[in-house]
Structures are given as structure tokens and as C-alpha cells.
Amino acid sequence: MGDSVRTRFAPSPTGHLHIGNARTALMNWIFARHSQGKFILRIEDTDQKRSTRESEQSILSDLQWLGLTWDEGPDVGGDYGPYRQSERFEIYQSHLDALIRSGQVYPCYCTPEELRARRVSAIEKGESPVYDGHCRNLSQQEKKHLEDQGRKPAFRFRVPPGETAFEDLVKGKVVFQNETISDFVIVRPDGMPMYNFACVVDDHLMKITHVIRGDDHVSNTPRQILLYRAFGWECPCFAHIPMILGKDRERLSKRHGATSVDQYRALGYLPEALVNFLSLLSWSSASGEEILSIEQLIQDFDFSRVSNSSAVFDTEKLNWMNGVYIRKLDPAELAARLVPFLQKCNYPVPSEEVWLPLVKLLQNGIEKLSQFCEKAKWFFHDTVEFENNEAKELIRTESAISIGKLFFQKTSTLSQWNGEIFKKIMKEIQTETGIKGKELWMPVRVMFTGNLHGPELHSVAEILGLEKCRKRIAQHIEHLEA
């Protein structure tokens, strides 16, 4: 196969890109980049009833959002296409014919009902419910008789006796007894190639050197190795990475929350944070660091540091990591990324002189971009919404009303406004009323934002502007005195 590393990611376009599949794509991409090799995207769309071009485009979009660019694929071409399995049927047919001619494949005329009945019978007898080789040695006359009945055969691979072993880059030596595999179908009666057959043909012809995938595929590997040997081809290296589990140690599913990349995208996770987080599921850097740039991930990658243990998807850790990346962003870059979330909330993008200060003010307080609108609603809403009854009751006190009245009076003749002027006014109010600490500042915060806690109040006041500050104070005073 040569010295150049070639990895592939081969999704089925039957839905959105699952987070576990994204992690598989990431591992293939990182290893290819680490090895100065090629990363190939292949679309496995032989399930024509469920496969759609919309799903394919969605998967490609999510991979691009994550930054996982491919060197060959259905949209960019390459020397080993086509890169959609639905466009490779003639290739599969010619390779099936070769196996039939060599006698390593035979037609099987058993119906699904007959196969089911034999499995049930085997289980009742305490035997292994594998295919019993019923059609393995049919004569030409018997085949013709079955075909005259209108039966169309599937094609099964003749599994030889003995065992099939391989050295996994993650699991070490793995051994399967061939008797547990039994003769498996490689092409259905309707002519559709099965996964293991199409996968082997494509991986060989596309010169894939390393097959990196989830360990739910381990049981497929001996079948694929047998097919490689049947063709006389060299096997690629296999690396099976542990599955991703939820906190309950069950396979990650919808009950654990978001499961597809587009859902995490919509929730406001940054692609660089999601890539960093996914890379650390069952893998760790020799440095022990957890916040790793993509350049560091590529440089540090080593299969010897991939764990055999299943990875637990810890959403709290992802939130923390995403918050770290948000805080590291240049405020102007963060502002640009927040625009779609503002639009989703039907909030207008403020003028530049206000927008950037608002983003800077709230940058340290969010873990997801989707939280920004909630954190900033005090700016966008004309009326203040109280976060709870405690906030609502706080401004009903006599001291709060006195603070509000004094603030309104002292700002009535101002022509300029900023955070420093606000602090000066508040200091004057403290001196005149004797009220200080949170008893002084918290009522004003609630009148401005509806919240008991939040970012620095002088910055809030400056961003709101004098007119909005006075209007909000006046609304509360008028309401309380009504």
C-alpha cells in the first residue's frame, strides 16, 4: 500500500452527523494530519431507501464547521472515485464475479423465514444460531430447481476453518474462531452489496492504510480480513476506539441530551472546543493538558495513548471547556459569532460602539453562545423582567425608592454619561443617604436589569446609556408610587 498514510471517514447519509461518528471522523483526520497523509471522505449510501442528499449535505456541512477538511471526496473528487457507494455498483459486481469464479462465494437461496426457523431451532437445541451452510454444496440441478421456483439468491462467502487474528492498534491482538462467524452474506438477493464487502473493496481500491473506527465494528473485522485474503490483498491497519457512553454508562442516545453535531452547533458550542473535547474521549496528551489547540492535537497524537476503556460524555466538562474557549476569543470575533444567535432571538445587532462593549461585558459569564441572549435581555428589552420575587420585593423598600429618586434627580441635568460618572453619582447618593454596600447597589442593579447579580454595574450603566437608565429608574418609581 506504500508509505503514505490514507485514512477515511465513511458515513451513511441517513440522518444527522452523530457526535460519536464525528469523534471517529476527528480521529481519522488527526492521524492523517499527524502523519502528513490523506483524509478521504466516502459516502456509504447503499441503503437507498433511507439515504438522502439532504443528509449528505448536512454531514458535509457539520464536518466543515468542525474544521475537518478532506483531501478526496464526493464534492472535491480524487484519483480513486467515485466516492459515493451508490455510484460504484459496477465495481462491486466485477469483484463479486471474481469471488464466484474462484469458488469462494456461493449462491444462497434460503428465505428469511427459513433462516429464522433454523436459528430458533438451533437455540432450542442449545447450539450456536449461525448459518448452517444449507446451500454451501448445492448441485447445479438443485440450484436450477430453486431458481425455477422464482428464488433469487444472496451470495455468501465460504468461511474457512480455523481462526482469524489481527493486531489492533488500540486493543492489541484480537482472535476470532471462524466457526463463530459462519458463511456470511456479501450481496443481497436484490444485488445490493453488504457493508463488509463494499467496505473492503472500497478501502482497497482507495488505498486506505488505516481503518480507524468505533469498537462496535470489531466483530466486522474478521469478516473483512477474510475478504482481503480471498482477493489476495494486503490488509490495512485496524484501530478500534472505545464507544462513547452517557453518565449512566449506557450507549450515548437521545435520552442523554443532544447527540448530533448540528444540535451542539445550535446550542452555541464552538467548533474548536467541541474538537478539543471529543479528542480527549479515550485519549490523552502526554503533557496532561486538557485545553489543546488543533495544532497540539495533531502533533501529540499517538495510538499508544488511546485507552481501551469506554469514554463517558461529560456535558459539564464540555460546558466548562466551551466557556474557556469563549473567554479566549477576541471580542470582535465573539461578536461576529453571536450575530446568528441574536437574529434567532429577533434582537437587532446594536451599533458598533455599543455592540462590542456589551459582548466584552458578558464574555466571561457565558459557557455557550446561546446563553448570550438571556444574559443580555436587560439591554434589548424595553421593560425590565425580574428574575424572581426576591428581586421584585427588593425595590419595594423605602431605601430603594429613596435611592431611585435621588438617582433620577442627580442625573436630570447631565449632558455626558459613562461608567465613571455613574460611580460618582452613586457615591453622592451613599453620602446623602448613609446607605452603602449591596443595600445601595443591588436595588439599582434590579431596576436596570431585573437581576440580583451580574456584570459590573458601572459598565451596565454605561452600555445602557443615560436615557435608558433614567427611564428604567423612573418606571420603577412611578410604578411603586402609583
Q: Give the pLDDT confidence of 263-288 residue by residue, as tens digits.
A: 999 999 999 999 999 999 999 999 99
Q: Quick one: pLDDT at residue 478? A: 75
The domains found in the chain, sorted by start residue, are: 88-241 (3.40.50.620), 382-481 (1.10.10.350)
70's grid cell: 478532506
Length of the chain in residues, anyone? 482
Q: Quick one: pLDDT at residue 2? A: 40
Q: What is the pLDDT of residues 115-133, one digit of tens each?
A: 999 999 999 998 888 999 9
SS3 93: helix
Q: Quick one: pLDDT at residue 65? A: 98
pLDDT less than 50: residues of the chain? 1-2
AA identity, residue 465: G
Q: Quick one: pLDDT at residue 256? A: 65
Catalytic residues: 254
Q: Quick one: pLDDT at residue 477? A: 82
Chain centre to alpha carbon of residue 263: 8
User: How far is it, in rounded angstroms, from Cα 377 to Cα 375?
Assistant: 6
Q: Quick one: pLDDT at residue 23? A: 96
Beta bridge partners of 177: 163
Q: Quick one: pLDDT at residue 253? A: 67
Q: Are 63 and 16 in contact (CB under 8 A)?
A: no
Q: What angle do CA 144, 145, 151 make, to 5 degrees?
A: 85
Burial label, 402 (beta-carbon count in 10 A; 0-12, 13-18, 19+): middle
Using the CB atoms, write b or e for 183-218: b if 16+ within 10 Å: bbbbbebeebbbbbbbbbbbbbebbbbbbbbbbebb
111's grid cell: 428465505
